[in-house]
Amino acid sequence: MTPPNKHLIALINYIALVPLVYFIPQWLSPYLPGNDFLQVLIIVAIIVPIISYLVMPITMKILK
């Protein structure tokens, strides 16, 4: 079985990341501390597992 096209995987990552990076900071900003660095750490800590444990496994199952 051949692995999925790397360019397709990159495109799917991009499409999945754009709304997450756009909306999650807006939704969480009222609840986050005032320190910008801590905000980024928390937001990235939320986005990375969504991509790694939800989006990519689902994508790989669909592309098989």
For the stretch 21-50, pLDDT in tens is 999 999 999 999 999 999 999 999 999 999
pLDDT of residue 3: 85
Query: Is residue 52 a part of any domain in this protein?
Result: yes
- Widest pairwise Cα distance in the chain: 49
Query: Is residue 41 a part of any domain in this protein?
Result: yes
For residue 29, give the DSSP letter: G
Query: Is residue 1 a part of any domain in this protein?
Result: no
Question: Are 55 and 12 in contact, with CB atoms under 8 Å apart?
Answer: yes
pLDDT of residue 64: 84
Across 5-23, average pLDDT: 96
Domain that holds residue 47: 6-63
The structural domain count of the chain equals 1
pTM of the model: 0.86
Question: Are 28 and 21 in contact, with CB atoms under 8 Å apart?
Answer: no
Single-letter code of the amino acid located at 40: V
Confidence of residue 4 (pLDDT cuts 50, 70, 90): confident
pLDDT of residue 6: 93
